[in-house]
Amino acid sequence: MTKYTDRYTAPLLFHKLMNYLFLPLTFLFAVERLVMEHAILFSGNWIAAVDACSVFATLLLSALAFVGLLRWKPLGWYSVMALQAVQLAFSIATLVICAAFTPDVLRAAAAQSAGAVLRAALVGLYYLKRRPLFCPAKAPAPAGPEL
């Protein structure tokens, strides 16, 4: 697997799409979901609590990823990876909940989970190859005089 270490020679088209299109859209869709479904999300139902956690985690991680990727900081890399993991976990949780309580929407939940698996695999692989761009290896400290 090729690891890219120089951001000026690495292919970064997907990174630019991720940072300037996908992350802002993810944030805006989460805000829209929070606004449109606020009564359901805060109804006190434990299933709604799972959805509310999903929305707040998506809001936080997409905002952190945007800022971190924009500044080429490790925070951005870790936030993108955490966002993929959280969205994958919540889509699998949705699949399990739908299988147990609402089997009529199981196909939609399965399609959502399959999309989350594919997205997490592709984005994860892309950013694993580009981790040195965001988390450069630290040079060893110079050896001091021996005492």
Residue 147 — pLDDT band, cuts 50, 70, 90? low
Query: pLDDT digit string (tens) for 20-69?
Result: 999 999 999 999 988 888 777 677 777 777 888 899 999 999 999 999 99
| CA distances for 71 relative to 32, 74, 77, 116, angstroms | 26, 9, 11, 26
Residue pLDDT, tens place only, 77-104:
999 999 999 999 999 998 998 888 888 8
- Ramachandran quadrant class, 3 (left: phi over 0; alpha: psi -120 to 50; beta: rest): beta
DSSP string, 80-137: HHHHHHHHHHHHHHHHHHHHHH-GGGHHHHHHHHHHHHHHHHHHHHHHHHTHHHHSPP
The C-alpha atoms of residue 93 and residue 97 are separated, in whole angstroms, by: 6
Band of pLDDT at residue 145, cut at 50, 70 and 90: low
Residue 119 has pLDDT above 70, yes or no: yes
Q: What is the pLDDT of residue 139?
A: 54
pTM: 0.85
